[in-house]
Amino acid sequence: MFPFSFEWVWDIGHMIFFGGLWYAVGILSAGMIYVILKAAWDTMSESINNSGESH
Amino acid sequence: MTQDNHNNAYKFGMVIDLDKCTGCGSCMVSCMSENNVPFKEDESNKRDSITWMRVYKLTNGKSFPDTEIAYLPRPCQHCGGEGDHGHSPCVSVCPATATDYGYDTGIVSQIYTRCFGCRYCMGACPYHARYFNWWDPKWPEGMEKYLSPDVSPRMRGIVEKCSFCYHRYQAARDKAYYHGDKDHIKEEDYQTACTTACPSNAITFGDLNNPAHKVHQIVKPDPHPDPRNHHVVGKSRNPKVFRLLERLGTNPKVYYLSEREWVRKQGDHYLEGEWDKIKNHHGTTSHG
Amino acid sequence: MSELENKAKNDSTISAGEKIAQKIKDDKGLGQGVILFIIAFVVCFAGSTLLFPKLLYSKKEQPFNFDHYLHVYEAGDCEACHYLREDGSFSGIPKLETCMECHVEEPLGVTDDEVVFVKEYLAKDKEIPWHVYAKQPDCVFFSHAGHIDTGARMDFNECHGPIEETKTSRTYEENRITGYSRDIWGKNIFGIKKNSWDRMKMDDCAKCHKEETGHQGYCFQCHK
Amino acid sequence: MDSALIPEGAKRCSLPKFSIGMAIVGAVLLWGVWAMFLCWFKGLNQTNMNDYYGFALWIWADLAVIAVGGGAFFTGMLRYIFNIKELKNIINFAVIIGFICYSSALLILAIDIGQPLRGWFIFWHANIHSMLTEVAFCLSCYFAVLTIEFIPNILENRQANKVPFFHHLAHNMHGIMVIFAATGAFLSFFHQGSLGGVAGVMYGRPFAVREGLLIWPWTFFLFTWSAAAYGPSFTLLVTKMTEVITGKKLVKDNVVHLLAKISGWMIVTYIIAKIIDTIYWAYVTAPSLGFKLSHFYTDNSFYGYWILITEIVICGIVPGAILVIKSTRENPTLRLVAIILGTIGVCLNRWVMVLQIMAVPVMPFDTWALYIPSWQEVATTVLPVAYGIMLIALAYRYLPVFPQEKELNSVKPITESE
Amino acid sequence: MQSATRKKQATKVIVSSVTSKNQKHETLNFNGELYMKVDRRSFLGLGLGAVAGVAVSPVGLKLTDDSSIWTQNWPWTPVPVDGRVNYEKSVCSLCPGSCGISVRKIDNRPVKIEGLSDYPVNDGGACLHGIAGLQYLYDPARVKTPLKKNGDKFEKISWNDAIALIAEKLKGIRTEGTPEKLACITDKDQGSVSGLFRRLLETFGSSEFYTMPSLESYLELTASTFHGKGNTIAFDLENANFVLSFGAGIIEGWGSPVACFKANASRKERHAKLYQIEPRLSNTAANADKWIPVNPGTEADLALGLCAVILKNNLFDGSATINFMGGFNKFNAMLKRDYSLSKTAKITGIKASEIEKTAKMFAKAKKPVAVFGKGRGDGAQSLKELAAVHMLNCLVGNINKKGGVFVKPVSQYLNFPSQSMDRVADAGFGKNKTGSTVNQLFEKIDKSAQPLIEALFVYNANPGYNLHDSKRVKKTLDKIPFKVSFSSLLDETAMLCDIILPNHTFMERIEDVPSGAGFAKTVVGLSKPIIKPLLNTKHPGDSVILIAKALGGNVAKSFEWANYDQCLESVTSNIWSPLSKRGFVVISKGVPAYRPLVNVSFLAQNPATINAKGDYALTLIPIDNMRLINTGTASSPFAVKTVSDTVIKGKDIVVEINPLTAIGLKDKGFATLTTPLGKARVKININEGMMPGVIGMVRGLGHTFDNKYVSNIGVNINDLIGQVIEPGSGLDAAFGIKAKLVAA
């Protein structure tokens, strides 16, 4: 699963398989981090400027 | 190290003479005693009874008095996989690499501490050579004393199978290292427990790649792929020798020998008329 | 690493956290929580990294101290006790009968460890229950013949460390859950290896095999 | 009492009545949990599986539950990627069903393997050539995607919505749900396919083996296709069941007809491919290995030609035809018959692709192996169903799952309050 | 949305309070409501921090990894100790085959038994029971110390007390002047231990020394019927080129099993033929060149029929038959009258042409051998059949020729010192034996009112299990007031005994093990102790010597040795040095030199053929399955594990029956088997290899003693088959019994 795993061999099979996998996991984690940070940011900015409903 | 023993990798295999086999069961017990195979109180359900070497009873299906029976000992076939490239049916499906194909010996290993018991390999193996520990192995009080340190006793929840007594190969290599010729394992130095136990010497074991070994002389394996089925490699050029389910392309390393045609015919599946075409084939012509 | 211990550690340092809180003028509602978060984080992280190994590994002493340095000096070489047998198998830790080749009823030296050895084991003809530092688990097959001068000609220090200079037997640490000696899984909990004998698990063997023979080897090479 | 949690303007049954229902389903759940612990602590000898039947009821339950869970990824793909707006009224429920199916599959796998504590070896020491490794990775990832798709719906709960952070989180997640749905579809395509590949690559089993494209046997594509085809049917089936149980109309007819139409066309195209594959296998692949078709379907007490005909004709062509033709599709009873037949069809296909493979003798002197599951296996298979029912009940009660519910069930039209 | 704004004001309140009251310890004196707010957030921070702290530390990963490694090293999974490997030679004495074995030991702990490669009997191979020998050594069900029966339970007793008790009992018998009331049953009369038992009886004054019916006893009986007392018969199967076997399980444990396997295996290379005559397709029949199904119990008639054909076409060896004695013409006439071709064909159910062809092939073959002894050759055999088959060998004159039948004197390699007898001993020993076989002894005990036998020694035998009509045998045994068993296992007979002196298993004993049971060569092997005795058991030789010494008088004087080891060395003095050095001595291997005289008087009187008792439709016959031991000792767990599920299914025994006779019976279904002696619940295995009208049941099951792996499985066939004593020989010659099978 990682390059330092016992079974890891830098062959085309590993590159395709884990390439695709890490790509998908990357998107998911990036998406989630973005969403959480943005939500935190929205909550913060909303509570600071205390303006009316922002949405 | 045999990896780089001037790339003359071994290809250990076996030929079993079914006309000499009496169905006595010595090979089954010798294998169980050698490899610490456990036993339960009721072993009569043969579908969860762990016997690495199992002796099947074949019949020609005729009725009394023309009926005939023969016995066929079936160890793990240590398949070389399609084209003998090492993708055995079980090795290619194991998700956690708990079983792999040793290109230096041709032996399919099974690592009991890596296997997590998903049993996919048992489904993939057409020979039913893989057994699952449904129960936790238990030896009656006192009987663990006869367990051999060369093979680690298994635990419940994992798959186990015949290893061609690989621990004897390890011991033979140790001996070869000690005596200085590390890349030459003598034929009599590495013999499996079933081979040494068989009272009728029906089992011959050795290196299929080495013409000096008896198994090679009996089987005379054909190194080129079979023209009619390119997956099949190492087909025997001896008309009396056959392999189990050769047409599937598993390339097993266990060959069987019999003078009786109905026994040879039980080795594989044939459509109408196919058997007569290849009945006493000599060498490379094989069934499409 | 039970939570209780964590809690005990936290209370003692709460006063430090409080001072920090007062200093930082912070008008965000979350400030309070974030600081406490950081404190708890640092405390738990340090606690579990240091405390956990102490709880995980049990410490056992050898039946009596064994002075390798003296024995190498007396016996001349290592093969006196650790040798390859005719069939290539390795003798491992010597049995009592090997000790009896030199030792007799009365102790040869002055140390009281030898007195223990002679009285408790030699006289009673009882095998010495040594704790083997480099003991591999039951599923591992290790061929000494393939690694020492009949094979790869490796120096034994690479796996066992400078044992021939040691005068005292160090404490044997064993993982309570797995039963492995600590030398197998490594002294450092993060797996950082200073010298080659600090850890001897599968990846270490694989690395050396890959360098030496170009291939990590197939499973049955090292498993049984 | 729990009215504060129930979405505004939604009428739900009283809490005691609800808790009685939950208690009953909970009892079934506990029975399953008891069987689960038996299997974990006493070992797999609790089942009737044996060395001929390494794969049995559990693996079938896995495959079937994932196949019917295919509705989630396919509806999600239609809604977000092909931008079919009407589906937004059913996507929440599809996601919930998908979440239940995938969590059930992971739970069953945790019980099924012999050494659950070593389960993570499948990730750590992965053998990339094995179809099961691919299943494990993509299935777990897609389960993560489903959880991500489920979270906004949870956060829209009346109380949760009050916490500003949750409110914003839900809103932002809706924003980029397209990416998650796309990744989900990519992952689903592979693991649905790999579950089909699990059978197709076994060249030691003539009943299962198929040729294919590169490393993927045809069953790879057939499994994805059938999951995408029958998944929506199952979603419609569960929606219908929920409507019957709750006594309310939850989804507008045009949404149901649309989804049924898509599912219909997918079923028809799938069945055509399946027929071609079966014919090719029966007259080319198997005979090349020396096996006549009758070898797989005769002289045993259970597996006969009936199973082939039921799977392809009765549960394939018939539901496909009903759902494709407008008049029959819009007739509620016929549509219900079609989606029930469809769901049975995909479960039967999975049964055949797991259990019949194990039953068919391969060595000439071997015999048919038939097997009856033990109560522990049945209990642990019913366990996820019970858990699923409870989750749907909770979601339906406390989460705004069906946007059109208020509109369909309100006596007088009320203005949009917020 | 109102709720959101109200919440915001509340937080402002908290913030302000924090800043204004920071001198004091803020968590303590806040009022409830405010206290709640700060505490919840700080508690949250604290909890999350702790969790994150631990999560990021290696604890989580390490515990996951270690829990998996824990499953690889479960404390209840045994870890065998490694050590130095060495091999030790010995001889297995589980059956008369006496094969050489090589035992692999790890630091003196035996772990594997294999065949010994240069041993003259088996040359490398071994049968499954020998290979599983270690399961006997470490069997927890073994008798751990001497036991004394008290009521129906056994209690521990020390060796000295046990010996003293036995001696006192025996002295009682002797003082009454009836020493002949002491009897002994062993498995064979060869070997030093049997010699010691016989010597103890004779010096005590009794000639009641019996051996269980075995192939060895039948060979000696047939030899004495034809060629005079003191002879035995052996078969040179390795060189014979036509073997005609009358039901003998050549590859199913008959004779010396592994030697026979080797002889059979080389058949292909030597172009030798094997014809098997048997009602059932056994493994031997399957491996044979031809299987001739014969009606059960008519093998003798077939043999005589073949003799008739050979004589009619004078294919016999004239030079041999001229010096036949005992009425050869009378025999000839009897054959013509009763065993014409058509009559034999009718009785045996074999076509006349087949009989004629077989007889001619047998007579014309260069080295023909006719083998007798159905199944393993032990159990019930009829002398008429043994004699008829041996007659074939005599007719073709292939006696004492290479590849033929060897008639040779019973080897006397032991030289016991002279026995010292006193008056009582001579009187008792003088009286003639109650019967020639164990069956006759039990029959007489049954008939006599007051106890005919006062004391009984049982060594290596299990009459309570192994003789037909075992219920009656057990009742007879109960009539013997005092019984001593030397078994290492609490088997059926030992459970009836009063004292049990447990002996070592064959791996803890030093003992001479002579080959026998029809093996061409005579080889004496030395079984060596591979491991020091595990339990408080003694060598049977030592037990006998101790008893003799305790008896005192002339008996003690005849047992001068201190212990058995010394006795063995002195008794085998002339071969001891090669025996101890090489582990075996080949006493005789070539063709016996002399030509034995042949006396056909027994056959000439045309003894009656035995037929099965009872009037049910079918015939139940025993099957000797190679994978089960049927001589009364239990099979090992490994051996029972190899037995097919068409023989054992769960706790039930499975009987074989031909489909034609199995009307109303379902394969794998249940049925009730009824014979004149009793009923049994069995499962059905529809088997084309079984002759119609015949039911086959395995011997060796139905043990009743306490062993989880082999006992209480199936039925002991000896409970169902009664005894039929053959008038001419006194043997129990019941080859089977009439039975019926009804679906249950």
Distance from CA of A15 to the nearest CA of E (A): 26
Q: How far apart are CA E732 and CA E443, in angstroms?
A: 11
Chain A contact set for E8 (CB, 8 A): 47, 50
| CB contact (8 A) between residue B152 and residue C145 | no
CA distance E680 to E674: 7
Instruction: Using the 3D structure, point to which of E72, E94, E115 is the last residue of a domain.
Output: E72
Tokens standing for E318?
A: 């004239």
Residue D278 counted as domain residue: yes
Q: Is the pLDDT of residue C7 over 80?
A: no
Environment class of B38 (CB within 10 Å of its CB; exposed 0-12, middle 13-18, buried 19+): buried
Whether D407 is covered by a domain: the verdict is: no
Interface of D with B in 129-148 (CB under 8 A): 129-133, 136
Contacts of D202 in chain B (CB under 8 A): 89, 93, 123-124
The single residue listed with the structure tokens 């929580």 is: C33
Q: Would you say E702 and E687 are in contact if contact means Cβ atoms under 8 Å apart?
A: no
Best CA proximity match to D49, nearest among B245, B123, E104: B123
What is the pLDDT at residue E197? 95
In a domain, residue E53? The reply is: yes
Query: For residues B160 and B52, what is the distance between their CA atoms, to the nearest angstrom?
Result: 8
Residue E23 has pLDDT above 90, yes or no: no
Give the H or E element holding residue E685. strand E678-686
pLDDT at E3: 42
CB C224 within 8 A of CB B109: no
- Residue where a domain stops, chosen among E72, E101, E125: E72
pLDDT given at position E588: 86
Per-residue tokens: D184: 């989900």
Residue E41 lies in a domain: yes
pTM of the model: 0.92
Extract the tokens encoding E535: 């339990």
Residue B207 lies in domain: 12-278
Which of B93, A36, E296 minimizes the C-alpha distance to D176?
A36
The arithmetic mean of pLDDT across residues E405-415, rounded, is 91
Closest CA to E341 of E388, E308, E365, E369: E308
Name every chain E residue with its beta carbon within 8 A of the beta carbon of B65. Answer: 291, 293, 691
Tell me how many domains chain B contains. Answer: 1
- Interatomic CA distance for residues E34 and E412, integer angstroms: 110
Integer-rounded Cα Rg, in Å, for chain C is: 25
Q: Are E285 and E278 in contact (CB under 8 A)?
A: yes
Over 80: is that where the pLDDT of C42 sits?
A: yes
Mean pLDDT of D29-53: 95
pLDDT tens readout for residues B91-145: 999 999 999 999 999 999 999 999 999 999 999 999 999 999 999 999 999 999 9
Structural domain that includes position E12: 2-72
- What pLDDT, in 10s, does the model give residues D239-292? 999 999 998 899 999 999 999 999 999 999 999 999 999 999 999 999 999 999
pLDDT in tens, E373-402: 999 999 899 999 999 999 999 999 899 999
Interface of E with B in 292-351 (CB under 8 A): 293
Contact list in D for residue B45 (CB cut-off 8 A) is 50
Quick one: chain C helix, strand, coil %, rounded to 5? Answer: 45, 5, 45
Amino acid A55: pLDDT: 46
How confident is the model at residue E449, as a pLDDT? Answer: 86
Question: Distance between CA C51 and CA C5 in Å, rounded?
Answer: 10
For residues E4-9, average pLDDT: 43
Q: Do E645 and B67 touch (CB under 8 A)?
A: no
Gap between the terminal Cα atoms of chain A = 43
Calculate how close chain B gets to D120, using CA atoms only, in Å. 9
Helices D218-246 and D375-398, packing angle to 10 deg: 60
Residue C30 pLDDT: 63
Report the pLDDT averaged over residues C190-206: 88
Token duo for residue C140:
């591992």
| pLDDT of res. E49 | 87
> At residue B255, what are phi and psi to the nearest 5 degrees?
-105, 155
Distance CA A39, CA D171 (A): 8
By CB neighbour count within 10 A (0-12 exposed, 13-18 middle, 19+ buried), where does D365 fall? middle
Confirm or reject contact between C221 and chain A (CB < 8 A). Answer: no
Rounded CA separation B34/B21 (Å): 20
Is E18's pLDDT higher than 80?
no
Tell me the Cα Rg of chain B: 19
Contacts of B220 (CB under 8 A, 6+ apart): B236, B237, B238, B241
The least confident of C178-192, D376-390, E90-104, E244-258 is: C178-192
Q: What is the pLDDT of residue C187?
A: 82
E and B in touch (3+ CB pairs within 8 angstroms): yes
The set of residues, in sequence order, having a beta carbon less than 8 Å from that of E315 and lying 6+ positions away, is E359, E360, E363, E364, E396
- Give contacts of D45 with chain B, Cβ < 8 Å: 48, 134-135, 156
Residue B283: which pLDDT band, with cuts at 50, 70 and 90?
low
Integer-rounded Cα Rg, in Å, for chain E is 35
Q: What is the pLDDT of residue A50?
A: 66
Residue E450 has pLDDT above 60, yes or no: yes
In a domain, E199, yes or no: no
Lowest mean pLDDT among C101-110, E101-110, E327-336: C101-110
- Contact at CB, E126 and B36, closer than 8 angstroms: no
Output the pLDDT for position D181: 93
Query: Average pLDDT for residues D201-215, to the nearest whole number?
Result: 94
**Does the pLDDT of residue D336 top 60, yes or no?**
yes
Confidence of residue B288 (pLDDT cuts 50, 70, 90): very low
In one letter, which amino acid is E433? K
Residue E494 lies in a domain: no
How far does chain C reach from its first CA to its final CA, in angstroms? 35
Please count the structural domains in chain E: 3
Residue E416 lies in a domain: no
CATH classification at residue D291: 1.20.1630.10
Average pLDDT over residues C94-121: 88
pLDDT at E697 over 80: yes
Instruction: Examine the pLDDT at C17 and tell me if it is beyond 60.
Output: no
**What is the overall mean pLDDT for chain E?**
90
Q: By the 8 A CB rule, do C185 and C201 touch?
A: yes
At E219 the pLDDT is 95
Q: Provide the phi-psi class of B214: left if phi over 0, else alpha when psi is between -120 and 50, else beta.
A: alpha
Looking at the domain assignment, is residue D208 inside a domain? Answer: yes
d(C-alpha C17, C-alpha C40), whole Å: 10
What are the backbone angles phi and psi of residue E262, rounded to the nearest 5°?
-65, -40
Res D412 pLDDT > 70: no
- Answer whether D350's CB lies under 8 Å from D67's CB: yes
Listed residues E335, E370, E403: the one ending a domain: E403
Query: What Å distances lie between residue D214 and A11, D200, D209, D289, CA to CA?
Result: 17, 13, 14, 21
pLDDT band at residue C107 using 50, 70 and 90 as cut-offs: confident
Q: What integer pLDDT is reported at residue B7 of this predicted model?
A: 58
User: For residues D109, D112, D115 and D117, what is the CA-based torsion angle, rounded to 10 degrees?
Assistant: 40
User: What value does the mean pLDDT take over residues D47-54?
Assistant: 94
Domain enclosing residue D96, as ranges: 2-361+373-401
Cβ–Cβ of C202/A47 closer than 8 Å? no
Q: Which residue has the tokens 């039990």?
A: E442
Residue of E nearest to A47 (CA): E8
Determine phi and psi for B128, rounding to 5 degrees. 55, 45
- E441 contacts: CB under 8 Å, gap ≥ 6: E183, E208, E210, E434, E435, E453
| Tens of pLDDT, residues C131-180 | 999 999 999 999 999 999 888 899 999 999 999 899 999 999 999 999 99
- Sheet bearing E368-371, strands edge to edge: E290-292, E273-277, E242-245, E368-371
C211 touches chain B (CB under 8 A): no
ipTM of the complex: 0.91
Domain count, chain D: 1
pLDDT for the residue E550: 94
Res C110 pLDDT > 90:
no
In a domain, E541, yes or no: no
What's the mean pLDDT in E465-490? 94
Q: Is the pLDDT of residue E483 over 60?
A: yes
Highest mean pLDDT out of E8-12, E36-40, E629-633: E629-633
pLDDT above 70 coverage of chain D, percent: 98
* β-pair type (E324-325, B254-257): unpaired
Q: Output the pLDDT for position A51.
A: 56
Contact: C224, B151; criterion CB under 8 Å: yes
- Please tell me the distance from the alpha carbon of residue E68 to that of residue D118, in angstroms, as a whole number: 5
Whether the pLDDT of residue D418 is over 50: the answer is: no
Q: Does residue C2 surpass a pLDDT of 50?
A: no
Residue A52 has pLDDT above 60, yes or no: no
Return left, alpha or beta for B159; rule: phi > 0 is left, psi -120 to 50 is alpha, else beta. Answer: beta
Mean pLDDT computed over A4-30 = 93
Kindly state the helix (H) or strand (E) to which residue E655 belongs, with its residue range. strand E652-657
